[in-house]
Amino acid sequence: MNDTAPLLRIEGLTKSYPGVVANADVGFSVRPGRIHALLGENGAGKSTLVKMIYGLVRPDSGAMHMNGAPYAPASPNAARAAGVAMVFQHFSLFDALDVAENIALGMENPPPRRALAARIRTVSHEYGLPLDPTRQVGELSAGERQRIEILRCLLQNPGLLIMDEPTSVLTPQEVTILFRTLRQLAAEGTAILYISHKLEEIRALCDGATILRLGRVVANCDPREKSARDLAELMVGQTLQSPSRAARPTGKVALSVRGLSLAAPHTFGTALKRITFDLKAGEVLGIGGVAGNGQDELLAALSGEALAPAASIMLNGAPVGHLGPNARRALGLLAAPEDRLGHAAAPDMSLTENAMLTGAGRMGLSHKGFLDWPKARNFADAIIAAFDVRTPGPISTARSLSGGNLQKFVIGREILQDPTVFVVNQPTWGVDASAAAAIRQALLDLAAKGAAVIAISQDLDELMEISDRFCAVNEGRLSAVRPAHGLSVDDIGLMLGGAHDMEMRHETA
Amino acid sequence: MNLGAIDPVLLIASLMVAATPIILAALGELVVEKSGVLNLGVEGMMITGAICGFAVAVETGSPVLGFVLAAMGGAALALIFALLTQYLLSNQVATGLALTLFGLGISAMIGQAYRGVKPPATAKLNLGPLGDIPVLGRMVFSHDWVVYFALVLVAGVWAFLKYTRGGLILRAVGENHDAAHALGYKVVRIRLAAIAFGGACAGMGGAYVSLVRVPQWTDGMTAGAGWIALAIVVFASWRAGRVLLGAYLFGGISVLQLNLQAAGVPVPVEILSMSPFVVTIIVLVFISARQKGAAVAPAALGRIFHASS
């Protein structure tokens, strides 16, 4: 196992920011041809660590060695020159430019455009990631966009490839193809540093793992020899509570959507096509799908941000499709959109003000156009207490909260308004494991009290955990709704619409 | 009313002169906005360039030196904007507006000594046989060097943005500064260079007003040309070729309405005076409306960049 010398060796790396130690005395090594996992919760210091390896951040102390020689990149250019390439979690792509231009921007000395386009075609087929160099990036799916990032790296023949949470936007089939590509690369001798908090993936793919918690290395292990639960507990540092759910009877239909079709709201949006489903009181309907297949548009149509024909959405038997968000709120249809900062909450307003923004009507926080601030403050306090939101108090701005705490606040704010139907998009995206567990439990509790819940998410494990029934959106269409219990990964993959054009080559290869 | 007195050859010749300051200023702003920065101080940089160029040309007797110093003056003012917005992260809209007010004020102060002075004339370029072509020679080939410089600059900016790596990086920075930073490009430095270029162009445009178009100095003499340049950039959908089109349209109607005024057309002078602004904007709005205007704006336009590391 340890016969080859490490490609990258890190010792005692420390980086602190005012008030936080992002990395303290971190050390590990990666060998050529190995896939090494870097595992940890949000805020554990994974991003800072890879930014140091990629030359975006300078460490305060500690040393890195590449092939035995000291390695201290001053900039990403220096890191690239040393053979380090990185695929970013939030894609570092330029929507208005085409594929070839995007790839050229990530290279030190790009060849002329025509030669580059030819190379993109060859290399992309070699690794089963077909790409058209002339397409504009803004029109591509998340999976295709990731291929650009990977290709950008591959064209430089990197010795070390860093992948930051690469699978969060992919379908199961696309994940399979990505893994095949990564194994192929490893077999060719490339070292891969794979960052994720998805444990099953790491157990399936990686042959070494470094687990970070609060900026420190808590374990170096072989993930194939550990159970996912062991890894999770190392990561979180405590025993995890799985959400508990009681079998419960469902009531009568609370929300009925019939033939809901809406045009795409903007150039890069998705049109909704004949969406039809029923939702009963007391049940959780999970809606899966790859990002950009109509989730945002569906949420907007249900919340009232986008208006629809009156009869296409019926709430407790009454048509509400033509009503705006406030009118629907008054009738008990509440929603929490995906984007916490800017959509679900106003970033620079205090928690009290944010509580006022959606709670004014249902909580009676305003009278004849005047706002009752003491009452709003009590409401914000109630949310903070009931959902364990860690914050100095309701005067804090929404922006100052961590992702998990703000998400607990946003969801708690709607749940405390006692919805009959609650629609939530990406309830635990970018939220640490313990906050995610609390949010899922809150959704289950809400359903147990008799509310109908729609959870739109890209995290299939989450949907399987909380939903009674499951369906998927694909290009604005909703699949048939099926009971969640007993669905296999393959079933779900098919419902999500497959991996488009990627898998064919591999099936035959 | 005597419409026969309007000579179409002369009209087009003076249109090219009238459009030149706007072409220069708008091209500069185009590059600035392509890098993701919104500098509303074009008017201020133009008027500063106008007085710098005027003063230097009068003192040295060399209009060329005047243009060079006008470019430097405009760039210097732009660098104040750059310092405030790129390093001190001030709001670009407010800072740009302040820059315009500052430029108007400082130019009036410098200009006090130059009222009623006549600047040295900028010579017409002798293009040899081209100038002797009938009609066309007088229309297109009998101008001073700045007119042709502006046209070359249009082609240069277009080619730079479309075909060079530098242009690609500039567009990338304006499209997504976080991604450009993550790839290792120096966002702030690139924007600094773009802002300085924009200031230099605006300064030259201003100097063209004070040295050639009007040839004299009066306070606030750019009279909204900077604002129309800003509008042209937006409605030209950030394309160099359309900037030329918009500027010629504006210049053409400016000249035409002056001729109409002189010919005594029975339309109120106020309406004729505002017609260049109104017609240019309406035409460009129609052009840009056909292709969903918002999608073509540089995505990072006006957003503050702060490297998180």
- Give me the CATH number covering residue B81: 1.10.3470
**In a domain? residue B100:** yes
- The DSSP code sequence of A150-179 is HHHHHTT--SEEEEESTTTT--HHHHHHHH
A245 SS3 class: coil
Q: What residues have CB less than 8 Å from A476, skipping those under 6 apart?
A: A264, A270, A271, A272, A273, A293, A294, A297
Residues A265 and A230 in one domain: no
**In a domain? residue A121:** yes
Residues A107 and A179 in one domain: yes
| CATH number of the domain within which A322 lies | 3.40.50.300
pLDDT at B197 over 90: yes
Residue B168: which of A57, A91, A101 has the nearest Cβ?
A101
Taking CA atoms, what residue in B is nearest to A48?
A: B309
**In a domain? residue A262:** yes
- Alpha-carbon distance of B52 to B111, in angstroms, equals 9
- The DSSP code sequence of A255-316 is EEEEEEEE--SSTT---EEEEEEEEETT-EEEEE--TTSSHHHHHHHHHTSS---GGGEEET
Q: List chain A residues with CB under 8 Å of B309.
A: 51, 56-57
Q: Which positions in chain B have a beta carbon within 8 angstroms of at least one beta carbon in chain A?
A: 165, 168-169, 171-172, 175-176, 178-180, 182-185, 292, 295-296, 298-299, 309
| Structural domain of A181 | 8-236
Residues A207 and A264 in one domain: no
pLDDT for A501: 32
Q: Do A104 and B165 touch (CB under 8 A)?
A: yes
Residues A100 and A39 in one domain: yes
Q: List chain B residues with CB under 8 Å of A114.
A: none
Residue B183: which of A95, A106, A267 has the nearest Cβ?
A106
Percent of chain A with pLDDT strictly greater than 90 = 28
Q: Which residue has the tokens 């249009």?
A: B154
Residues A280 and A423 in one domain: yes
Is ipTM strictly over 0.90?
no
Residues A346 and A487 in one domain: yes
Residues A162 and A258 in one domain: no
Residues A353 and A496 in one domain: yes
pLDDT for A388: 85
Q: Residues 102 to 131 of A: which have CB under 8 A from any B CB?
A: 104-106, 110
Residue A201: closest CA among A235, A228, A181: A228
CB atoms within 10 A of CB B281: 18
**In a domain? residue A246:** no
Q: Pick the last residue of a domain from A211, A236, A261.
A: A236
- Alpha-carbon distance of A100 to A137, in angstroms, equals 10
Residues A227 and A259 in one domain: no
Q: Pick the last residue of a domain from A236, A264, A299.
A: A236
**In a domain? residue B294:** no
For the question of whether the overall pTM of this predicted structure is more than 0.80, the answer is no
Residue B171: which of A55, A77, A97 has the nearest Cβ?
A97
Residue A62: closest CA among A215, A247, A203: A215
pLDDT tens column, A255-295:
999 999 998 887 767 889 899 999 999 999 999 887 778 88
Residues A192 and A268 in one domain: no
Of residues B127 and B222, the one with the higher pLDDT is: B222
Q: List chain B residues with CB under 8 Å of A106.
A: 183
CB atoms within 10 A of CB A168: 18
> Distance from A7 to chain B by nearest Cα, in Å?
22
pLDDT at A87 over 50: yes
Q: What is the tally of structural domains in chain A?
A: 2
Q: What is the tally of structural domains in chain B?
A: 1
Interface test with B, best of A54, A87, A91, A92 (most B CBs within 10 A): A92
Taking CA atoms, what residue in B is nearest to A95?
A: B175
Q: List chain B residues with CB under 8 Å of A53.
A: none
Q: Do B171 and A96 touch (CB under 8 A)?
A: yes
Residue A267: which of B175, B184, B295 has the nearest Cβ?
B295
Provide the β-strand partners of residue A425: A456
Q: List chain B residues with CB under 8 Å of A89.
A: none
> Distance from A275 to chain B by nearest Cα, in Å?
28
pLDDT tens column, B255-307:
888 888 888 888 888 898 888 888 888 887 887 777 654 457 888 888 888 87
Residues A114 and A184 in one domain: yes
Q: What residues have CB less than 8 Å from B153, skipping those under 6 apart?
A: B23, B24, B27, B201
**In a domain? residue A188:** yes
**In a domain? residue B104:** yes
| Structural domain of B252 | 3-289
DSSP secondary-structure letter at B92? H
Interface test with A, best of B33, B165, B183 (most A CBs within 10 A): B183
Residue A95: which of B168, B299, B309 has the nearest Cβ?
B299
Taking CA atoms, what residue in B is nearest to A16?
A: B309
Provide the β-strand partners of residue A15: A23
* Confidence at B98, pLDDT banded by 50, 70, 90: very high
pLDDT at A430 over 80: no
- What is the pLDDT averaged over residues A94-117? 88
Residues A303 and A208 in one domain: no
**In a domain? residue A214:** yes
**In a domain? residue B152:** yes
Q: List chain A residues with CB under 8 Å of B175.
A: 94-97
Q: Pick the last residue of a domain from A189, A207, A236.
A: A236
Residue B299: which of A96, A101, A105 has the nearest Cβ?
A96
Provide the β-strand partners of residue A333: A421
Taking CA atoms, what residue in B is nearest to A152?
A: B183
Q: List chain A residues with CB under 8 Å of B296.
A: 96
Interface test with A, best of B173, B175, B178, B291 (most A CBs within 10 A): B175
pLDDT for A497: 66
**In a domain? residue B302:** no
- Alpha-carbon distance of A160 to A179, in angstroms, equals 16
> Distance from B181 to chain A by nearest Cα, in Å?
9
* Confidence at A42, pLDDT banded by 50, 70, 90: low
* Confidence at A503, pLDDT banded by 50, 70, 90: very low
pLDDT at B240 over 60: yes
Q: Residues 267 to 296 of A: which have CB under 8 A from any B CB?
A: 267
| Assigned token pair, A359 | 């709670």
**In a domain? residue B303:** no
**In a domain? residue A1:** no
